[in-house]
Structures are given as C-alpha cells and as structure tokens.
Amino acid sequence: MDRQALVALAKQAMEKAYVPYSHFKVGSALLDQQGRVHLGCNVENAAYGPTNCAERTALFRAIADGEAPRSFQAIAVIGDTPGPITPCGVCRQVLIELCPPDMPVYMANLRGEIQETTVAQLLPGAFTMNDLNGGT
C-alpha cells in the first residue's frame, strides 16, 4: 500500500471523530506488517484531559486487536490544518514505544499536502525502555 492510499484511509477515519469541544477532526491509519490497516480518530471528553488523539486511537486499537508492538510499517495522520498536521508530544512518545524508530510517518492535510518523516525524527532524545533500569 502506498502513502496516498494510507492517507485516503486516514481521511475516512477522520469522519468518525468525536469532537464536540474542538470541532477539529483528525484521522489516522496504521499499516501493520501483514498489510492490515488499523484506523483511529480523535475522541474528546468533557474533562478535556482524557481526550485521545487519532494516532493513539489507531495504535492502541491495533495492540488491543493482537498486533505485536513494533510490528508496524507506516502510519498516516490527517487533519484540516494549513500545513501537514503534526503529531502532539504525547503521541510522539507513544509512537516511539510501539513502532520501529525508522518507520515512516505521513503527515497530511485536506489540501492534499503530505509530508513524510520518521518516528525517531519526531522525538529526538526520547526516553525509551532502554533507559529503564540502565544503572542496575
């Protein structure tokens, strides 16, 4: 599956967003190693803090469906932003935990712009599992 196709699926997922507060819909599509796609949208909450971004919804959904951590090929995210949408800091931390560091991230908007980066490039100096218990 090419990046255009993955972005198109993320755009479909965007329509499912639950956004009564921001009215800002975001969609995500996560491609696993078997070629399956896990879709996600943002899901907001009256307490604001519990809001889940589209990227994390797709990642957590894939894990809950039995996909192994780091068994993913690519993720696309799309929103109605002036430039390609960029994942928030919390999602970057979750991406570095659950995806290969060199995995492509396709950031898109409704104007047809797509920018490509990697999980590791999104979070230089990330704290990861390798840092835990490092001194013992």
Question: Would you please indicate which residues are annotated as catalytic (active-site) residues?
Answer: 55
Judged by CB under 6 A, the stretch of 5-13, 29-37, 58-66, 82-90 that binds ligand THU is 82-90
**Residue 109 · residue 85 · CB < 8 Å:** yes
CB of 60 to ligand THU, least distance (A): 13
- Total site size for ligand THU, rule CB under 6 A: 15
Q: Which residue has the tokens 């659950």?
A: 98
**Residue 63 · residue 71 · CB < 8 Å:** no
Q: How far apart are CA 37 and CA 51, in angstroms?
A: 22
Q: How is the beta sheet containing 114-118 ordered, strand by strand?
A: 37-41, 26-32, 72-79, 104-109, 114-118
Give the H/E segment covering residue 109.
Answer: strand 104-109
Q: What is the DSSP letter of 39?
A: E
Nearest CB to ligand THU, comparing residues 24 and 127: 24
Show the tokens assigned to 42: 């943002």
Nearest CB to ligand THU, comparing residues 52 and 71: 52
Residues 93-132 that bind ligand THU (CB under 6 A): none
Nearest CB to ligand THU, comparing residues 93 and 131: 93
Residues 25-64 that bind ligand THU (CB under 6 A): 26, 42, 44, 51, 53-55
Nearest CB to ligand THU, comparing residues 68 and 90: 90
Q: How far apart are CA 101 and CA 80, in angstroms?
A: 27
Binding residues (CB under 6 A) for ligand THU: these are 19, 22, 24, 26, 42, 44, 51, 53-55, 77, 85, 87-88, 91
